Amino acid sequence: MGVESGEGAAAVKEKYQQSLGISSDAGNTSKRFDDDGRSKRTGSVWTTSAHIITAVIGSGVLSLPWAIAQLGWIAGPTVMLLFSFVTLYTASLLADCYRSGDPVTGKRNYTYMEAVESNLGGLKVKMCGLIQYLNLFGSAIGYTIAASISMMAIKRTNCFHESGGKNPCHISSNPYMILFGITEIIFSQIPNFDQIWWLSIIAAVMSFTYSSIGLALVIAKVAANGTISGSLTGARIGTVTQAQKIWGSFQALGDVAFAYAYSLILIEIQDTIKSPPSEAKTMKKATSLSVGVTTAFYMLCGCMGYAAFGDQSPGNLLTGFGNFNPFWLLDIANAAIVIHLVGAYQVYAQPLFAFVEKWAAEKWPGNEFIIKEIKIPIPGFRPYNLNLFRLLWRTVFVIVSTVISMVLPFFNDVVGFLGAIGFWPITVYIPVEMYIAQKKIAKWSSRWICLQLLSIVCLIISSAAVAGSIAGIVLDLKIYKPFQTSF
């Protein structure tokens, strides 16, 4: 994405801004516009924290007891704390890269890729874009699959109790993926990231809801057991083979590491923040709050889940209670997961939507189909600006991601692989390199060496997680049957 100049570029920018419902009058001194001529940003510490929590606390929190079961009481919590620190630190580095030059009045970078281009440029921009958008697309597929699993769990639980346990209640996931896809088609028509703040708040509340239910259930199970299960080193050789222990530990590292990753959308989230104070200052406060809350929940759910189930901890915490009564409590938890994933899908998809729409507006600046907004009156609300290109492109995106989810129902492991590939470059390497370039940190200085050591250690861990994810995919391929997932 090059920097535009001249009258032609100005016209492109103006039409692009109009296509997003943005005023191009940068000289307007009213309170309606920011310093770049865009509509006044309204994000606060709380809305930013909601976006981050929605992105970070996903249904993956339910797999943390399994991760600790692979690592044990010593390594499991230690790994969680280490990754919370790495996430917090690299996110603070990245927050300083939102503006180029002066941290208060410098040029804004609206996306992660723009920040990379401003600070690093060259091949790193293309590498970053490929990894970032591939991860965003993979996340949409993973969320579709995860949501369908929770919807099927609700249906199966109710079916089981209605039949008194006589009906095996085998259910296809396809109708539930289609239902989730239809829902996302509707929500995808929200024009931009700044306007989904309310959806992120609802999703964040749902995160706490199902995490709290899971936590309460495992605490009750620990009390009922009268003992704390588990061991210092995790799953024992004999219960699992030595190879399973190694691959399981690698996968566990990946689960914990990527449970914290949200850097690929951090700049997009930061672009919703109002100023003053500076966007970086607000983002750092929101990151500290969000990562602190996230880590507390992760530690409680992961450790208490392991204490309840020990080395036999299930991959999904909520599936470990069998035909638990009252079963409606598990239904509430699974419903909360579905609602959360509706919001999380949008948090990850909106940056990809915006990238394609900006590219199209710059590629065909005079095309009415791409830039024209049709005002649709809504009684009691402001008119909705319907853009035909946005309607078509976003609908096609959701349909494609839904179909792939149905064809490759084990895609969660593939998404884990994509996440493993993306963790080091997106969360660690690029933020570190951008920070070094922006702050002009001298090569071979003590700070430069420490930053490079952090990057190298995370590269090693990311490589191990990639190996574990590949092992999981190989196992899935042995039993792969497209369009035939049942629960």
Q: Which residue has the higher pLDDT, 4 or 153?
A: 153
At 402, is the pLDDT very low, low, confident or very high (cuts 50, 70, 90)?
A: very high
Task: Indicate if the pLDDT at residue 240 is higher than 80.
Answer: no
Residue type, 113: M
Residue 204: CB atoms within 10 Å: 26
* 3-class SS string, the chain: CCCCCHHHHHHHHHHHHHHCCCCCCCCCCCCCECCCCCECCCECHHHHHHHHHHHHCCHHHHHHHHHHHHHHHHHHHHHHHHHHHHHHHHHHHHHCCCEECCCCCCEECCCHHHHHHHHCCCHHHHHHHHHHHHHHHHHHHHHHHHHHHHHHHHHHHHHHHHCCCCCCCCCECHHHHHHHHHHHHHHCCCCCHHHHHHHHHHHHHHHHHHHHHHHHHHHHHHHHHCCCCCCCCCCCECCECHHHHHHHHHHHHHHHHHHCCCHHHHHHHHCCECCCCCHHHHHHHHHHHHHHHHHHHHHHHHHHHHHHHHHHCCCCHHHHHCCCCCHHHHHHHHHHHHHHHHHHHHHHHHHHHHHHHHHHHHHCCCCHHHHCCEEECCCCCCCEEECHHHHHHHHHHHHHHHHHHHHCCCHHHHHHHHHHHHHHHHHHHHHHHHHHHHHCCCCCCHHHHHHHHHHHHHHHHHHHHHHHHHHHHHHHHCCCCCCCCEC
Tracing tokens 């009481």 back to the chain, one arrives at 73
**pLDDT of amino acid 21:** 42
Q: Which of 72-81, 223-232, 238-247, 427-436 has the lowest mean pLDDT?
A: 238-247
Q: Which of 173-187, 210-224, 234-248, 317-331 has the lowest mean pLDDT?
A: 317-331
**pLDDT of amino acid 185:** 92
Task: Indicate if the pLDDT at residue 341 is higher than 80.
Answer: yes
Nearest to 340 by CA among 87, 105, 147, 102: 147
As a whole number of angstroms, the distance between CA 443 and CA 452 comes to 10
User: Is there a contact between 41 and 34 (Cβ–Cβ < 8 Å)?
Assistant: yes
Two tokens at 266? Answer: 């951090």
pLDDT tens profile 194-215 = 677 788 788 878 877 887 888 8
**pLDDT of amino acid 467:** 84
**pLDDT of amino acid 158:** 77
pLDDT tens profile 284-327 = 999 899 888 888 888 888 888 888 888 878 776 766 666 566 77
**∠ Cα 213 188 137 (to 5°):** 80
Give percent of the chain above pLDDT 90: 7
Task: Indicate if the pLDDT at residue 421 is higher than 50.
Answer: yes
As a whole number of angstroms, the distance between CA 123 and CA 117 comes to 9
**pLDDT of amino acid 451:** 93
Q: What is the mean pLDDT of residues 358-369?
A: 84
At 453, is the pLDDT very low, low, confident or very high (cuts 50, 70, 90)?
A: very high
At 10, is the pLDDT very low, low, confident or very high (cuts 50, 70, 90)?
A: very low
Torsion angle, CA of 109/133/205/289, rounded to 10 degrees? -50
Residues 6+ apart with CB under 8 A from 165: 323
Taking only Cα atoms into account, the Rg of the chain, rounded to an integer number of angstroms, comes to: 23
**pLDDT of amino acid 395:** 94
Highest mean pLDDT out of 5-14, 237-246, 403-412: 237-246
As a whole number of angstroms, the distance between CA 426 and CA 79 comes to 19
User: Is there a contact between 144 and 177 (Cβ–Cβ < 8 Å)?
Assistant: yes
Nearest to 347 by CA among 466, 220, 194: 194
Strand partners, 486: 172
Q: Which of 121-135, 212-226, 413-427 has the lowest mean pLDDT?
A: 413-427
Q: What is the mean pLDDT of residues 43-50?
A: 85
Q: Which of 8-17, 84-93, 143-152, 168-177 has the lowest mean pLDDT?
A: 8-17
User: Is there a contact between 311 and 62 (Cβ–Cβ < 8 Å)?
Assistant: no
Give percent of the chain above pLDDT 70: 84
Q: Which residues of 365-384 are buried (b: 16+ CB within 10 A; e: fewer)?
A: beeeebbebeeeeeeeeeee
At 394, is the pLDDT very low, low, confident or very high (cuts 50, 70, 90)?
A: very high
**pLDDT of amino acid 229:** 83
Tracing tokens 């993926």 back to the chain, one arrives at 177
Backbone φ/ψ region at 169: left (φ over 0), alpha (ψ -120 to 50), beta = left
